[in-house]
Amino acid sequence: MATFLEKLGNIDRRIIFIMMALAVIIPLSIRMSLPIPIGEGPSKDMYDAVEALPSGSRVLLSFDYDPSTMPELQPMAIALVQHLMTKDIKIVSMALWPMGVSLGNEALIAVSDSLGREEYVDWVNLGYKTGGGVLIVRLGSDIKSVFPVDYDGNPVDDMPVMDGVNKLGDFEMIISLSAGDPGVPAWVMMAGDRYNIPIGGGCTAVSAPQFYPYLSTGQMIGLLGGLKGAADYETMVRIGVENAPAGTATPGMAAQSVAHLVIMIFIILGNISYLAGKKKKGRVK
């Protein structure tokens, strides 16, 4: 007859699902808040690199993701746009993923309206073009032939924000918020290495480990990994800013903390059951 410990290893998965749902819903419902400690790391490096850019610099921001990864990447987009616009840095945005254009536009319009920035003067969204890595190489020699008009169909030649911007080398920095391919690796290989432009990035937590080699070689100046990266950046952007709007990543970290603990508890329970079963088998032999 199975003991309690052995039965523990066969918990109905619906119980696990319910526990996970509660682990996320309760912290968000009660607005549980945990302090976000900011230490040295890729998020801080990213913030410092943007902070070091002089006012009036130009940054290419590429929204290379879609709605499925939006919960992790959209808070990064908002915090980054907020930081760039606060520092009066001109933003030229585009997307290697078709649905990234609309998501990027949402972030740009929301922050631009709140800070009183002007489209075509302080920022522009060029839209989406297919081609991935090949598109980046083409942008390296001539941006305006690839994007003669912006997302709304207006000629880019007439836009003040595009003055002096003809190729990738005219940007002080490129930042890609990426959920896969094409994304950060394409920008590092085709733009960073080829035209010697600093590349920063943001990605989902699950893909962050694969970009650490680029950080160690200096091919990337910083990286925002998952919701933690977004929360780190939100926290850093809000330091010293009065009445700064709250982002969505920071409250999400409390829910993620509890969810991680729940997963760990289930793993421990599973292992207790496994070891109890193993011990019993040993006795029988």
Which stretch, 77-85, 111-119, 156-164, 270-278, contacts another protein (CB under 8 A)?
A: 270-278
Amino acid at 86: T
Of 58 and 138, CB closest to another protein? 138
What residues from 14 to 73 belong to the interface with another protein (CB under 8 A)? 16-17, 19-21, 24, 34-37, 39, 41, 66-71
Pull the structure tokens for residue 158: 């007439």
Pull the structure tokens for residue 270: 């599973």
Of 100 and 172, CB closest to another protein? 100
Give CB contacts under 8 A, 24+ apart, made by 41-45.
41/232, 42/215, 42/222, 42/223, 42/224, 42/225, 42/229, 43/222, 43/223, 43/224, 43/225, 43/228, 43/229, 43/232, 43/233, 43/236, 44/222, 44/232, 44/236, 45/215, 45/221, 45/222, 45/223
- Buried (b) or exposed (e) across 17-32, using 16+ Cβ within 10 A? eeeeeebbeebeeeee
Which stretch, 11-19, 115-123, 169-177, 239-247, contacts another protein (CB under 8 A)?
A: 11-19
Residue from 2, 28, 149, 267 touching another protein (CB under 8 A): that is 267
Which stretch, 51-59, 111-119, 170-178, 268-276, contacts another protein (CB under 8 A)?
A: 268-276
- Identify the residue whose tokens are 């890609």: 176
Which stretch, 44-52, 112-120, 155-163, 201-209, contacts another protein (CB under 8 A)?
A: 201-209
Residue 126 near residue 147 (C-beta atoms within 8 A): yes
Residue from 22, 88, 109, 193 touching another protein (CB under 8 A): that is 109
Q: How far is the CB of 222 from another protein (least distance, A)?
A: 14
What string marks each residue from 117 to 146 as x (binds another protein by CB under 8 A) or -? ------------xxx--xx-xx--x----x
What residues from 203 to 262 belong to the interface with another protein (CB under 8 A)? 205, 208-210, 212-213, 216, 226, 228, 253-254, 256-262
Q: How far is CA 147 from the centre of its chain?
A: 25
Q: Kindly give, in sequence order, each residue whose CB lies less than 8 Å from that of residue 132, ignoring residues fewer than 6 positions away.
A: 96, 181, 182, 186
- The H-or-E segment that residue 101 falls in is helix 100-115
Q: How far is the CB of 53 from another protein (least distance, A)?
A: 25
What is the CB-side half-sphere exposure of residue 43 using CA atoms within 13 A? 23
Of 53 and 112, CB closest to another protein? 112
**Contacts to another protein by CB under 8 A:** 11, 13, 16-17, 19-21, 24, 34-37, 39, 41, 66-71, 99, 102-103, 105-106, 109, 129-131, 134-135, 137-138, 141, 146, 152, 205, 208-210, 212-213, 216, 226, 228, 253-254, 256-264, 266-267, 269-271, 274-275
